[in-house]
């Protein structure tokens, strides 16, 4: 396995799973399992629990693990029923947000424009953001993957956030057809698309940004397929749904990442 140059990032997206009690139970079990891995400075572990579990998670989280929110509004406050702002997150010590997950796009109508507003606002408020992009099965079959990704990337990243490609912005490539379906993109398919995203970053923001930005793969990542994915030069980690819900399974993914850095 080639040694990784960039930080490797393992992120667990719990979606609408694990309320406060289950979150506490998970973290009690998980923390000792990854203690030695998180000593590595090039390894980053983030968990995105549901909103109501954030407070519990942040107060008992293990060293070396970041807790992030699955969503936030771009305004600070106001008449936006059901929404939360960056200010609230900061108040409980959360400084990281997942933006533009395909389920937010698909079920909650989030557009590239809205996602751009969120990214710009949250970066201005000093958050770290992980921005998700990815094509549907139909789009891939119509050979539109690159066009779709370009639109999503262009929508998410304006010139106003260029300075935050200093480690505060990560991109998660998640082909919609691979999320929760058991169908993983092959390492070759994923690597090819990651290369495209890296080239897009180069064309838009230059060589340095392209070289240092972490691009994670997501979509049915599991302990038995992560090693091959991480062996690809442009895959810098994984955003994991289903396989992040059990402590031993997520810990096994973290061990693989630590091994890839060894
Ligand atoms: P999955 O979900 O690992 O269950 O496919 C990934 C995601 O939606 O981030």
Which residues are identified as catalytic? Answer: 101, 174
Mean pLDDT, the chain, integer? 95
Q: Which atom of ligand 1 is nearest to the CA of 179?
A: 5
114 vs 110: CA distance, rounded Å = 6
Beta partners for residue 217, in sequence order: 173, 238
Ligand 1 atom 1: the closest Cα is on which residue?
241
pLDDT at 4: 72
Residue predicted with more confidence, 217 or 62:
217
Q: Which atom of ligand 1 is nearest to the CA of 102?
A: 8
Sign of CA dihedral 102, 187, 31, 37: negative
Task: Summarize the confidence of residues 189-203 as an average pLDDT.
Answer: 98
Residue predicted with more confidence, 183 or 203:
203
pLDDT at 104: 97
Closest CA to 216 of 247, 191, 249, 184: 191
**What are the phi and psi torsion angles at 78 (to 5°)?**
135, -165
Ligand 1 atom 6: the closest Cα is on which residue?
241
Burial class (CB in 10 A: 0-12, 13-18, 19+), 88: middle
Name the DSSP class of 250.
H
**Contact 221 CB / ligand 1 (< 6 Å):** yes
pLDDT at 1: 44
**Contact 58 CB / ligand 1 (< 6 Å):** no
User: pLDDT tens-digit profile of 112-163?
Assistant: 999 999 999 999 999 999 999 999 999 999 999 999 999 999 999 999 999 9
User: pLDDT tens-digit profile of 3-25?
Assistant: 577 899 999 999 999 999 999 99
pLDDT of 44 above 90: yes
Give exposure, 2-39, as e/b (b: 16+ Cβ within 10 Å). Answer: eebebbbbbbbbbbebbeeebbbebbeebbebbeebbe
pTM of the model: 0.96
How many other CB atoms are there within 10 angstroms of residue 43's CB atom? 21
pLDDT at 9: 97
**Contact 86 CB / ligand 1 (< 6 Å):** no
Q: From the centroid of its chain, how far is CA 98?
A: 6
Instruction: Tabulate helix, strand, coil % of the chain (nearest 5).
Output: 50, 15, 35
pLDDT at 16: 98
pLDDT at 51: 97
**Contact 89 CB / ligand 1 (< 6 Å):** no
CA of 91 to the centre of ligand 1 (A): 28
pLDDT of 196 above 80: yes
Tokens at 115, concatenated: 């996602």
Which band of pLDDT confidence, cut at 50, 70 and 90, is reported for residue 60? confident
């Amino acid at each position: 396995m080639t040694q990784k140059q960039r930080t490797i990032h393992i992120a667990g997206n719990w979606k609408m799973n694990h309320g406060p009690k289950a979150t506490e139970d998970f973290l009690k079990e998980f923390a000792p399992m990854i203690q030695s891995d998180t000593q590595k400075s090039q390894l980053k572990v983030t968990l995105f629990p549901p909103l109501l579990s954030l407070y519990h998670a942040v107060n008992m989280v293990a060293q070396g693990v970041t807790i992030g929110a699955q969503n936030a509004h771009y305004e600070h406050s106001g008449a936006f029923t059901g929404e939360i702002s960056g200010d609230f997150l900061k108040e409980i010590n959360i400084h990281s947000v997942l933006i533009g997950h395909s389920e937010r796009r698909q079920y909650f109508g989030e557009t590239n424009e809205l996602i751009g507003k969120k990214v710009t606002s949250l970066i201005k408020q000093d958050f770290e953001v992980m921005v998700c992009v990815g094509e549907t099965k139909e789009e891939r079959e119509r050979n539109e993957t690159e066009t779709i990704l370009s639109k999503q990337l262009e929508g998410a990243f304006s010139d106003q956030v260029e300075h935050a490609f200093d480690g505060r912005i990560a991109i998660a490539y998640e082909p919609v057809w691979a999320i929760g379906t058991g169908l993983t993109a092959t390492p070759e398919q994923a690597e090819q698309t990651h290369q495209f995203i890296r080239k897009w970053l180069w064309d838009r923001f230059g060589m340095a940004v392209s070289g240092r930005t972490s691009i994670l793969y997501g979509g049915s990542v599991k302990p038995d397929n992560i090693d091959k994915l991480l062996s690809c030069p442009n895959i810098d980690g994984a955003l994991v749904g289903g396989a992040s819900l059990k402590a031993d399974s997520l810990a096994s993914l973290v061990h693989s990442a630590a091994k890839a850095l060894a």
